[in-house]
Amino acid sequence: MKKLLLTLLLVVGVTAVAISQTQVLSGNWSANSTTTPSYTLHQNEGERSILVSVPFLKPFETKPDVILTVNHMDAEAKTNVRYTVKAVTVTRDGFTVQVSTWEDSKIYGITGYWLAHAE
């Protein structure tokens, strides 16, 4: 019985240490013609991209993985909506969101959430 209790305490302790070492931060990002310098996703045709810098409130100990979502988009109704969103230049201190569109798509504004995690 003592061995079982000791083993159980050891497993719980190791699990608690592993969980406590995981860092997780989250927030939101947005881009539009009034708040984002050089915003061009609503003008012209062809390939266009913009960059949005996202600093972390607290730096990570190691480079994190970043997950992005899109939760709102204001786009031209008369054309197809074509876009990509990805995290580029991820560092311990932050990352950059790259939003791209192409052809005749016009995006007037786009927002989303991000989640960053590291072991």
Q: What is the CATH number of the domain that holds 42?
A: 2.60.40.2080
* % of residues, the chain, pLDDT over 70: 83
Handedness of CA 72, 76, 82, 83 (dihedral sign): negative
Is there a domain that residue 2 lies in? no
Position 21 scores a pLDDT of 73
- Whether residue 88 has pLDDT greater than 70: yes
pLDDT, one tens digit per residue, over 13-58 is 545 445 557 999 999 999 999 988 899 999 999 999 999 999 999 9
Q: Work out the mean pLDDT of the chain and round it to a whole number.
A: 89
Is there a domain that residue 67 lies in? yes
Backbone phi and psi for residue 52, each to the nearest 5 degrees, phi listed first: -125, 120
Is there a domain that residue 12 lies in? no
Is there a domain that residue 77 lies in? yes
* % of residues, the chain, pLDDT over 90: 76
Instruction: Identify any residues that bridge with 23 across adjacent strands, giving them in sequence order.
Output: 118
Is there a domain that residue 28 lies in? yes
Higher pLDDT, 3 or 74: 74
- Whether residue 12 has pLDDT greater than 60: no
Is there a domain that residue 107 lies in? yes
Helix (H, G, I), strand (E, B) or coil at 5: helix
Q: Which domain holds residue 110?
A: 23-118
Distances (CA, A) of 96 to 20, 79, 90, 99: 27, 27, 7, 10
Cα distance between residue 116 and residue 114, in whole Å: 7
- Are 117 and 76 a contacting pair, CB within 8 Å? no
pTM score, whole prediction:
0.80
The number of domains in the chain is: 1
Position 58 scores a pLDDT of 94
Is there a domain that residue 1 lies in? no
